[in-house]
Amino acid sequence: MQPLPHTRSCFVCGEANPFGLQLRFATDGRVAHTRFRPRAEHIGFRQTIHGGILSTVLDEIMVWACAVGTGRFAYCAELTVRFSRPTPPEEELFVTAELVSNRRDRLYEAQGEVKNAAGAVIASATGKYVPLKDADVPMMLADLIGEWRPEKQGGG
């Protein structure tokens, strides 16, 4: 597994964001991976992790799946999440995502899953992503901590 960079400011991976999740991501060259242990502060109702937290993590990992698959960072244009079972706090979750299509570097489609330690699917998602404009890439790269050397051709 190759570690992926993280940022200073991002809610999901930003190391300088005191309110964030501070997750770290890795890739096997095709699939993006992370582990996540939601805390009590992430509860929405009756000791269940808020769906918005899971949606946020799925969005972030699908962004990384797009970056791994294309060499470019992207913004979310559409996110669809299906929740399969409630999740209590402090349960370790395993999140994966992969790029499923690249429409001429104008629109990427990715899919992701959150599973518990037993392998049960907690939530699954699909997303459509639009590559960052070339003018926005330097700002994104300036916030990264860690090396970003995309194997694919393209900005980022």
The rounded distance, in Å, linking the Cα atoms of 81 and 133 is: 26
- Euclidean distance between CA atoms 119 and 70, whole angstroms: 28
Evaluate whether residue 48 is within a structural domain.
yes
Residue 101 in domain: yes
Domain range for 31 is 2-145
Whole-number mean pLDDT of the chain?
A: 92
Predicted pLDDT at 151: 62
58 in any annotated domain:
yes
Q: Does some domain include residue 150?
A: no
The contacts of residue 67 (CB under 8 Å, 6+ apart) are: 4, 73, 74, 150, 156
With respect to residue 34, please indicate whether it lies within any of the assigned structural domains. yes
Helices (H), 13-130: 51-70
Residue 118 within any structural domain of the chain: yes
* Residues 16, 9 contacting (CB under 8 angstroms): yes
Q: Is 155 within a domain?
A: no
Inter-residue contact 54 to 112 (CB < 8 Å): no
List of E strands, 50-139: 74-83, 93-103, 107-116, 121-131
Distance, CA of 4 to CA of 38 (rounded, Å): 21
Number of domains forming the structure of the chain: 1
Q: Which residue has the higher pLDDT, 46 or 126?
A: 126
pLDDT tens across 77-132, in order? 999 999 999 999 999 999 999 999 999 999 999 999 999 999 999 999 999 999 99
